[in-house]
A and B are shown apart, each in its own frame.
Chain A
Amino acid sequence: MTEPGYTPSPEQAAETGTLAARIALKQRAGGIVVPIVTVVIAFLMGGLVVLATGHNPLLAYRAIFNGAGLNWIFHPTTSMASTASYNLSQTLLQTTTLILCGLAVAFAFRCGMFNIGGQGQYFVGFFVANWLGVDFASMSPLPHILIAVGAATLAGALWAGIAGVLKASVGAHEVITTIMLNWIAIWIGEWLVADGGPLQNSSQPFNPSSNPVSSSAELPVFWGSHTLGGLDVGIFVALAAVVLFWALLNRTTLGYEVRAVGFNPDAAAYGGINVRKNIVRAMAISGAFAGLAGALDMLGYLYGFSQNDIPLSQVGFLGIAVALLGRNTAVGTLLGAVLFGALLFGTTHGLTGNVIQPELAGNLTYIIQGLVVLFVGADVLILYVWNSRKRLRPARSASAAGAS
């Protein structure tokens, strides 16, 4: 392992007055300002839509804030009798998923790839966790959970790995392949619980839903009631994943290579880094995060799924907004996940009162998500585009290379 403290980071290495380096510098300087401004703009525009359709945006946002249980901080209590506690625990459940889905997108981004297939990788983990959670019902809890979570994570990694291998071997663009893999995963899921499908509920043969996972595979709930879907230990796994993500990228040779390939694959190859290996590796790690998210959802609080649940799940796509908002860093992704987790629960099940109906507000999440991605994408990806133009268009990179 190299000593990262003595090696200049890939970003620093290129920081010699090129335009790319200036952009990189500007990005770090504006690292916090731009996402905050983006969120403010997105919420303002969302508020305009709310206002234009005859609702009070301030009251609506306050209702969403309370719906997400964020008012818990004004009177904290661990008692589940308080609505705020319950809402907060549910928000944190969503946050758990979004942290991991965000990390999945962010890790691939750091290697210069856009993993748009988080949803598919999440589903693959989700299905595998259900399969292994239902089977081996006689096993004792700890090994059962470890096997199910481990296999689901591996499945996510393999699913994303297909896109990585296709990119590394024949240069198939990862965006196209991961989109296709998303829809393949979705239809496989529909098939798994369709009438006569392999995971379909055996006691209700005409119900297109899965068996519930056995109690030995359920993650322990530490806040709230198990039957009401309280907060499970999955959130600690997600937080550990944040630390792992940071350490992996910033404190290991693997992370150094991944970042080097992401910053400039030509320079990385010139420096002796195996670009293809890193593409496959980064995609697989990226998919592992998403697969883990699926496993934690399945074993943590959902326990099963039906055909109708599949098209409604958008967490893999929300992960894109989370990662972009968090500028593909560990802490940024965590904060982005808290924001979108709160939005996701606060605009739907948590929302009460008559300012704005949950059906309406739920769509507000998608609008805000879209605006966030649109505005963040216009800025943060200058660097990504800068790198990819060198990769995709050798002739035009001459001017950029000449300046350095």
Chain B
Amino acid sequence: MSNTWVDRLDNPASARLRDPAFTGYVGIFLGAFAAFLAIPPIEARTTTWPILVGVVGAIFGIWTVTRGRRRVGWGAVAAGILGLALGILATRSGTGNLHTVFDPTLIAQTFGFATPLVFGAIAGMISERSGVINIGLEGMMLMGAFWGVYGADRGGTWAVGLVVGAVLGGLLALVYAYFAIHLRADQIVGGTAVNFLALGITGYFFVQLYHNQPVPNGVSTLPNLKIPGLSGLHFFGPAIGDLNILIWAGFVLVIVAYVVLFRTPIGLRIRACGEHPRAADTVGINVYAIRYACVGVSGVLAALGGVYLSEGSQGNGTFIFDMTNGRGFIALAAMIFGNWRPAGAFGAALLFGFSNALALRLQVYSASASTLFNVLPYVLTLIAVAGVIGRTVPPAADGKPYRKQ
């Protein structure tokens, strides 16, 4: 069964259309569409359409499962049932609330919530592809969040903040890399230590430099990118016409990460270090150098995600204690959910970002229920690692220190 990602890409489009996974993807799309039918802008006020489309999506999924593509198939079944249920719920809801929840800015907000996760997930993926587990994403992100504000404050412009945050996150990552690679310390313990350390360092210097005042006022923040043709339009304007530059940078990052990791010799070397460092060493690849570089880059990227948190449109140039509040771990979850692949991690980050944005808006229905909605990313990841919908496969040498011979 040609089921790996590279195989599928090497095959021509016609072969990929015959792949049973294709129907699975159609099923997933139909499931999403079933829910989409009942909400603005289409807003069908009858239950018939969501039920019909959702059931068709689920049937596509079952067919896919019978053809052996279980992961995608069950995904489609779940999407179909979920879409159907959400669609029915939406038709039952009042139109006013529906318009509050589903306006075009939901899309912008989803991207906003997803961006730190995109940076974090790609950061984690690069590190883990080279064979170093990075539990310390949360801490590196936190470093970026604080030192980004500090840099922007002292340097006078957001660009300085971006650089300072990225450098400090990278430095913390290199400290971790030394323990993980040279000292061969347990990488999970080391990563946990990094998280504590970052919490302490950022908290300490926040009090020291800003006397625990929540807002250093008037800090230069990351600008938004107004797209001339789009920003005036009715739907696309508020949705994607006026997004932060780091959101766009996140999109670019996913593509760059894919190309570098899977389409260049450097990427091949990185993956070799993560799958079989001994073999990589034998053919002359410097495993330590690759791993140091990857962990360093990972720290820089995670820190950029943190800079977005504090310097982006939601943080608005302020820092608060423990600002990341678990986003590093959701990023880790997105990476695992996306099966250590750029596109998968991006999709998972979008899904988790969407659930965050939706949780915020569902408060119009019930405050407590919307709070509970926040567990969704974690539950989904738990289900994913439990292997219910196919297996998640980390790089073979992930988390194992390498000893040169």
Q: Which residues of A are interface residues toward B (Cβ below 8 A)?
A: 49, 53, 114, 116, 166, 170, 172-173, 175-177, 179-181, 183-184, 186-188, 190-191, 194-197, 200, 311, 317, 320-321, 324, 357, 359-360, 362-374, 376-379, 381-382, 384-385, 389, 392-393, 396
Nearest chain B CB to A323 CB, angstrom units = 10
B359 to chain A, nearest CB (A): 10
Q: Which of B185, B204, B207, B399 contacts A377, CB < 8 Å?
A: B185
Q: Does chain A have a CB within 8 A of B292?
A: no
Q: CB within 8 A of B197: which of A183, A187, A371?
A: A371
Tell me the smallest distance from the CB of A50 to a CB of chain B, in Å: 9
Whether B186 contacts A384 by the Cβ 8 Å rule is yes
Interface residues of B (CB under 8 A from A): 135, 179, 183-186, 188-190, 192-201, 203-208, 212, 278, 322, 325-326, 329-330, 332-333, 336, 366-369, 371-372, 374-375, 378-379, 381-382, 385-387, 397, 399-401
Contact A187 to B382, CB < 8 A, known contacts A370-B194, A373-B192, A381-B189 = no
State whether A49 and B204 are in contact (beta carbons under 8 Å apart), knowing that A188-B372, A371-B193, A374-B193 are contacts in the complex: yes
How long is the Cα–Cα vector from A366 to B322 in the complex, in angstroms?
12
B residues near A170, Cβ cutoff 8 Å? 386-387
Q: How far is the CA of A49 from the CA of B199 in the complex (A)?
A: 14
Contact A179 B185 (CB under 8 A): no
Given contacts A176-B333, A176-B381, A177-B386, 18 further A-B contacts (CB under 8 A): A166-B382, A170-B387, A176-B336, A179-B329, A180-B378, A317-B196, A320-B192, A360-B208, A363-B200, A366-B203, A369-B200, A370-B195, A370-B197, A372-B193, A374-B185, A374-B194, A377-B193, A379-B185
Question: Closest CB-CB distance, A373 to chain B, in whole Å?
Answer: 4
B6 vs chain A, min Cβ distance (A)? 24
Contacts of B401 in A (CB 8 A): 385
Given contacts A183-B326, A187-B374, A363-B207, contact A175 B199 (CB under 8 A): no
CB distance from B186 to the nearest CB of A (A): 4
Given contacts A370-B196, A377-B189, A363 and B368 within 8 Å (CB-CB): no
A248 to B397, CA, bound (A): 35
B378 contact set on A, CB distance < 8 A: 180-181, 183-184, 187
Provide the bound-state CA to CA distance between A332 and B204, in Å: 29
Output the least CB separation between A367 and chain B (Å).
3
Among candidates B197, B207, B326, B329, residue contacting A367 with C-beta atoms closer than 8 Å:
B197
Can you list 12 pairs linking A and B with CB atoms under 8 Å apart? A179-B333, A183-B330, A184-B375, A188-B375, A190-B374, A363-B203, A365-B200, A366-B197, A366-B200, A367-B200, A374-B190, A381-B185
Q: Given contacts A172-B386, A183-B378, A188-B375, is CB(A381)–CB(B186) below 8 Å?
A: yes
In the docked arrangement, what's the CA distance between A224 and B288, Å?
57
Chain A residues, Cβ within 8 Å of B400 = 389, 392-393
> Contact between B368 and A191 (Cβ–Cβ < 8 Å)?
yes
Q: Is the pair A194, B385 in contact by a Cβ cutoff of 8 Å?
A: no
Q: Knowing A194-B368, A311-B325, A393-B400 touch, does A175 contact B385 (C-beta < 8 A)?
A: no
Instruction: Give the docked Cα–Cα distance between A175 and B366 (Å).
Output: 33
**Chain A residues whose CB sits within 8 angstroms of the CB of B195 once the complex forms:** 370
- Cα A173 to Cα B385 with chains together (Å): 8
Distance between B400 CB and nearest chain A CB, rounded to angstroms: 6
* B382 contact from A181, A197, A321, Cβ within 8 A: A181
Most B Cβ at <10 Å: residue of A200, A377, A393: A377
Question: Which residues of the partner chain B approach A377 to less than 8 Å between Cβ atoms?
Answer: 179, 185-186, 189-190, 192-193
Tell me the minimal C-beta distance from B374 to chain A in angstroms: 5
What's the minimum C-beta distance from B127 to chain A, rounded to whole angstroms? 15
> For the complex, what is the distance from the CA of A311 to the CA of B326, rounded to whole Å?
10
Give CA–CA (A173, B394) in the complex, Å.
11
- Shortest B391–chain A CB gap in Å is 8
Partner of A116, one of B192, B194, B374, B382: B192
Chain A residues within an 8 Å CB radius of B200: 363-370
Contacts of B397 in A (CB 8 A): 393
Q: Is the CB of B196 within 8 A of A378?
A: no
Residue pair A180, B366 in contact (C-beta under 8 Å): no
CA distance in complex: A239, B397 (Å): 41
Query: How far is A191 from B375 in the complex, measured between Cα atoms in Å?
Result: 10
Instruction: Report yes or no: B201 in contact with A378, Cβ–Cβ below 8 A.
Output: no
Centre residue among B197, B204, B207, B333 by max chain A CB count within 10 A: B204
Most buried by A among B332, B371, B397: B371
From A53, A166, A370, A382, contact of B184 by CB (8 A): A382
Q: Report B189 CB to chain A, min CB distance, Å.
A: 3
**Known contacts A172-B387, A195-B368, A389-B400; is A378 also within 8 Å of B207 by CB?**
no
A321 CB contacts on chain B under 8 angstroms = 196
Point out the residues of chain A lying under 8 angstroms from B179, CB to CB. 374, 377-378
Residue of B nearest to A163 (CB): B382
Shortest beta-carbon distance, A344 to chain B, in Å?
A: 13
Residues on B with C-beta less than 8 A from A194 are: 367-368, 371
- The listed residue (A166, A195, A366) touching B199 by CB distance below 8 A is A366
Give the residues in chain B near A367, CB-CB below 8 Å: 196-197, 200-201, 204
If A184-B375, A360-B207, A378-B179 touch, whether A196 touches B367 (CB-CB below 8 Å) is: yes
* B333 pairs with A180, CB closer than 8 A: yes
**Across-interface contacts of A372 in B (CB, < 8 A):** 193
Q: Does A362 lie within 8 Å of B203, measured CB to CB?
A: yes
Task: Give Cα A181–Cα B381 distance, bound, in whole angstroms.
Answer: 10
**A382 — which chain B residues lie within 8 A by C-beta?**
184
Q: How far is the CB of A169 from chain B (nearest CB, A)?
A: 8
Q: Are B189 and A114 in contact (CB under 8 A)?
A: yes
Smallest CB–CB gap between A366 and chain B, Å? 3
Contact of B329 among A183, A369, A389 (CB under 8 A): A183
The chain B residue with its CB closest to the CB of A166 is: B386
Complex-state Cα separation, A364 to B200, whole angstroms = 6
Whole-angstrom distance between the Cβ of B55 and the nearest chain A Cβ: 30
Closest residue of chain A to B198, judged by CB? A370
CB contacts (< 8 Å) of A175 on chain B: these are 135, 188
Q: Identify the closest chain A residue to B380 (Cβ).
A: A180
- Could you tell me if A180 and B382 are in contact, using CB atoms closer than 8 angstroms? yes
